[in-house]
Structure 1
Amino acid sequence: MEEHTDFVRFKRGKLRQPKNIIKIKRTSTPDDVAAVLAKERNRDNNKHTKGDDEEDEAKEYGDVLDFGGEVSGKNRHITHGFHLVEGKMKHGMEDFLVAENRKMKGYDLGLYAIFDGHSGRKVAQYLHTHLFHNILKEVIIIEPDFWENPASALKRAYKKTDNEILKNVVGARGGSTAVTAILINQKQLVVANVGDSRAVLCRNGEVKQITVDHDPLKRKEKKMVESKGGFVSEKPGNIPRVDGQLAMTRAFGDAKLKEHITVEPDVTIEKIDKETEFIVLASDGLWKVTSNEEVADCIREMKSGQKAAEELIEEALLRGSKDDISCVVVKLG
């Protein structure tokens, strides 16, 4: 049985066409999100109160702040929003996300993530509960100078979480992408990713991709796979795959292919200044049908992160995306 240490608040929104679009507020535990997506689509507000164990967890790893996705600092007003829709792939919803704010050790943290599962939902579900927990544990216990040099702590947390998954969560099949972003004091953004979920940032009207799509055909990625004894297939009419199976070179889980892929993330650090307008994290259900520039143009004039996230998913559906789609938008006023 999985141990769940965070808490969650939901607020049901109106269903918009198609019927499987669901609006979820303040998500931080996967079982509750899974219940909403799979079993509780017609229920009203579902509130969960922290118990003693969760209170202890909050004290150790930071309090989740209850301000509905908005926070104001000395110079900025930040609002985040998120949206998910189940695709038409007949495998059930496999996307999970995180969008929350915490205070920890005197730092204001925005925690954002997208987890896009494949060959099942278990890995993405586990990441949803445990990855930020492991990252913050690395920060507090092992590397208190995270704020100056976060890359090594993030890589250790990713590896530790993957080891837990391979040992306790999933067998030979099943894995997930991950893109995580930590906004520190509204001034610095630390982003890590494996797989093809993506993050972009818009600054002074220019959009910048701040993650790496781990495409098997990219020279660096293909060389890495081959150096481990694997191969990349390039069959006509099909997407490139590691060992003819996986459409990415980096992922959590996927034990059958682990000797030939890696869970080591690419880590990027971005300065957040007055020219920074917004940040978008999304699964490939969005990026398959829209470019970075089109995403930026779609939401550039919007003030609300929530409305922006909903608009992006609606646009992806209009363009024929059939995959699960999850999206987090952080707007910086």
Structure 2
Amino acid sequence: MGQPPLAEKEKTKRWVDGGLLGGRSALEFGPEVHGGTLIEQVGGSLRSFDPMGRLCCFVTSYSQEEFWIDPNRSISKAYERTDQAILSHGSDLGRGGSTAVTAILLNGQKLWVANVGDSRAVLSRGGQAIQMSTDHEPNTERGSIEHRGGFVSNMPGDVPRVNGQLAVSRAFGDKSLKSHLRSDPDMQETIIDNNIDTLILASDGLWKVLTNQEAVDIARKIKDPLKAAKQLTAEALKRDSKDDISCVVVRFRG
């Protein structure tokens, strides 16, 4: 008997609010949006889009069998291939890069979250915010950056940056800084039990102005995930967020 599907969608509601992604609805592309690049998990593969919503690359998918045997390795390989594909399309995408956060629900029970950079995943467990991702900041990964020949500077703007340029220590793309950056994800897993009701995936434009708990409190008050995602984006703009704002709200129950 084969393994069950990677994602159970029947009882899970989600909404993607495209925020400031080129004026187009991210719902056209799929469940996960972050920074200037959208990463979509579709049937065991990752597809990448540039900020205008154009498909820029397609990463070779892993098999379901491979994923069930070793999810960590499969996700790491998918991230590595995505980074390589984005770098190979540098002439089309320019010199920039992207952070990423992905969430994969296995058999409707086990949630795997992976990320690079400062796009973040936050769960609500009984109303308490639980961060499921790691913010990759230059100060916390200074050793890795320096080992790769780079440096961390707090100029400009008194913000720690790789070589005085990039405010994250891991990212896809960013070809000019790639030798000093990592693109391997940190991963966490958890069981979706009856206490978990909501998952928020969002870019740093949201998290720079909202705490994890504030975001959870807002999302939980709104049953419709569409309206919840839009409200989170609107609240970030109200608080004068200056960065790209992209948001996914997933409701497991309620």
- Once residues 26 and 137 of structure 2 are traced to their aligned partners in structure 1, the CA distance between those partners, rounded to angstroms, is 22
2:43 equivalent in structure 1: none
1:138 equivalent in structure 2: 62
Matched letter for residue 189 of structure 1: L
- Once residues 184 and 307 of structure 1 are traced to their aligned partners in structure 2, the CA distance between those partners, rounded to angstroms, is 26
1:248 equivalent in structure 2: 168
| CA offset digits 1:103-152 (Å, max 9, x no partner) | xxxxxxxx73223128xxxx752998578x637x1134xxx241242111
Alignment match of 2:18 (pick from 84, 96, 103): 84
- Once residues 199 and 329 of structure 1 are traced to their aligned partners in structure 2, the CA distance between those partners, rounded to angstroms, is 10
| CA offset digits 1:200-251 (Å, max 9, x no partner) | 0111222111011111111xx1111011111000237431110111111111
Matched, 1:187 2:84: no
- Once residues 151 and 98 of structure 1 are traced to their aligned partners in structure 2, the CA distance between those partners, rounded to angstroms, is 27
1:179·1:192 contact (CA, 8 Å) conserved in 2? yes
C-alpha RMSD of matched pairs (Å): 3.0
- Once residues 84 and 115 of structure 1 are traced to their aligned partners in structure 2, the CA distance between those partners, rounded to angstroms, is 9
Question: Using a 3 Å threshold, how does the CA distance of structure 1 residues 98 and 193 change in structure 2: closer, same or farther?
Answer: farther
Structure possessing the higher relative contact order (Cα contacts under 8 Å, 6 or more residues apart): 2
- Once residues 98 and 146 of structure 1 are traced to their aligned partners in structure 2, the CA distance between those partners, rounded to angstroms, is 26
Alignment match of 2:68 (pick from 147, 157, 179): 147
- Once residues 279 and 235 of structure 1 are traced to their aligned partners in structure 2, the CA distance between those partners, rounded to angstroms, is 35
1:216 equivalent in structure 2: 138
Bigger Cα displacement from structure 2, 159-168 vs 186-195: 159-168
Percent identity for Structure 1 against Structure 2: 43
1:279·1:329 contact (CA, 8 Å) conserved in 2? yes
Greater radius of gyration (CA): 1
**Following TM superposition, by how much is the alpha carbon of 1:301 offset from its aligned partner in structure 2, in angstroms?**
2.6
Matched letter for residue 203 of structure 1: R
Question: Using a 3 Å threshold, how does the CA distance of structure 1 residues 297 and 203 change in structure 2: closer, same or farther?
Answer: same
Matched, 1:112 2:37: no
2:85 equivalent in structure 1: 164
- Once residues 130 and 237 of structure 1 are traced to their aligned partners in structure 2, the CA distance between those partners, rounded to angstroms, is 32
- Once residues 97 and 221 of structure 2 are traced to their aligned partners in structure 1, the CA distance between those partners, rounded to angstroms, is 36
- Once residues 190 and 96 of structure 1 are traced to their aligned partners in structure 2, the CA distance between those partners, rounded to angstroms, is 25
Question: Using a 3 Å threshold, how does the CA distance of structure 1 residues 273 and 237 change in structure 2: closer, same or farther?
Answer: same
SS in 1 for 2:67: coil
Question: Using a 3 Å threshold, how does the CA distance of structure 1 residues 307 and 197 change in structure 2: closer, same or farther?
Answer: same
2:22 equivalent in structure 1: 93
Matched letter for residue 31 of structure 2: Y
- Once residues 308 and 254 of structure 1 are traced to their aligned partners in structure 2, the CA distance between those partners, rounded to angstroms, is 32
SS in 1 for 2:59: helix
1:96·1:115 contact (CA, 8 Å) conserved in 2? no
- Once residues 18 and 87 of structure 2 are traced to their aligned partners in structure 1, the CA distance between those partners, rounded to angstroms, is 27
**Following TM superposition, by how much is the alpha carbon of 1:97 offset from its aligned partner in structure 2, in angstroms?**
5.1
- Once residues 250 and 209 of structure 1 are traced to their aligned partners in structure 2, the CA distance between those partners, rounded to angstroms, is 18
**Following TM superposition, by how much is the alpha carbon of 1:317 offset from its aligned partner in structure 2, in angstroms?**
1.3
2:154 equivalent in structure 1: 234
Alignment match of 1:175 (pick from 65, 88, 97): 97
Matched, 1:291 2:211: yes
1:25 equivalent in structure 2: none
- Once residues 152 and 128 of structure 1 are traced to their aligned partners in structure 2, the CA distance between those partners, rounded to angstroms, is 28
The normalised TM-score by structure 1 is 0.64
Matched letter for residue 76 of structure 2: K
The normalised TM-score by structure 2 is 0.82
| CA offset digits 1:150-196 (Å, max 9, x no partner) | 11111111111211221233477211111111112221111111111
- Once residues 284 and 95 of structure 1 are traced to their aligned partners in structure 2, the CA distance between those partners, rounded to angstroms, is 19
Question: Using a 3 Å threshold, how does the CA distance of structure 1 residues 128 and 181 change in structure 2: closer, same or farther?
Answer: farther
1:96·1:116 contact (CA, 8 Å) conserved in 2? no
SS in 1 for 2:158: coil
- Once residues 179 and 98 of structure 1 are traced to their aligned partners in structure 2, the CA distance between those partners, rounded to angstroms, is 16
